[in-house]
Amino acid sequence: MATRRPMAPPTPTPPAPAAPTSPVGRRIFLGMAGLGALGIVVGARVQAGIGRALRPLVSDNGLNLGALIPGSDQFRIYSITGSLPYESPSAYRLTVDGLVSTPLTLSLDDLKAMPPARLVRDFQCVTGWRVPSVEWRGVLVSDLLDRAGVRPGASALSFSSFDGAYTESLTLGQARRRDVIVAYEMEGGPVSRDHGGPVRLYVAPMYGYKSCKWLSGIHVVNRVEPGYWEGLGYDVDAWVGHSNGRSDAATSTG
């Protein structure tokens, strides 16, 4: 318990000389700005190093905590609608229509019965993150087109998603490539809902936004119809390293 003492009269102290000051605040501010600028310029290399160091330690598990570490080469989840759409694997249907001789409606089993295509490629997002060497299994879009029979006059494909908003496009030439698939398996397991499952498009040589998620339909058309992300300023032909103002080399296009 504190006791209150009567106040002694203040002892007058001689006026102190003004204390010397240094502008530490400004130095901290400028130092941080300089470090930030340096980080922008060399950050990609630092990130690549961190990704390499973390790779044996983190894995894309259910919680995906690794993705919270800046620079870890983990998938990030983007959705443009409210929450993620869902279709059960048994109810899932993929339609192929438009300028085709035989419109198709394929179930997941129908897709799995077709000759499988397997790709191991990097998944590169246009914002700068990359997941190296992702294993994909599915069906070549080219095989689907052969089965449906493309009619003369067709020159492009439009893709639609059961989220109701995501759309994409490819030219016929791009879609016929051996590294463009309709994927039902990813990293050894079914494509999860988070990653656009049960079935998504995977366009290996292009930035991730071309790989339409929650794929519901492939429409064969006579001209390229730019999709959702193109409407927001991204390039229609999204070649990794040669579009969207970039010229970085993709790490695996083999």
Residues engaged in binding another protein (CB under 8 A): 1-13, 16, 19-26, 28-33, 35-37, 39-47, 63-64, 67-68, 70-71, 75-84, 126-129, 193-194, 232-233, 241, 244-248
CB 94, min distance to another protein, A? 22
Tokens representing residue 19 in the block: 């204390």
CB 13, min distance to another protein, A? 5
Q: Any idea how long the chain is? A: 254
220 and 98 in contact (C-beta within 8 Å)? yes
Q: Which residue has the tokens 């579009």?
A: 243
Closer to another protein at the Cβ: 23 or 173? Answer: 23
160 and 167 in contact (C-beta within 8 Å)? yes
Closer to another protein at the Cβ: 103 or 128? Answer: 128
Residues 126 and 241: their CA atoms lie apart, in Å, by 9
| Residue whose C-alpha is closest to residue 117's, from 208, 196, 203 | 203
CB 127, min distance to another protein, A? 6
Closer to another protein at the Cβ: 40 or 57? Answer: 40
CB 207, min distance to another protein, A? 11
Closer to another protein at the Cβ: 16 or 115? Answer: 16
Residues 236 and 230: their CA atoms lie apart, in Å, by 6
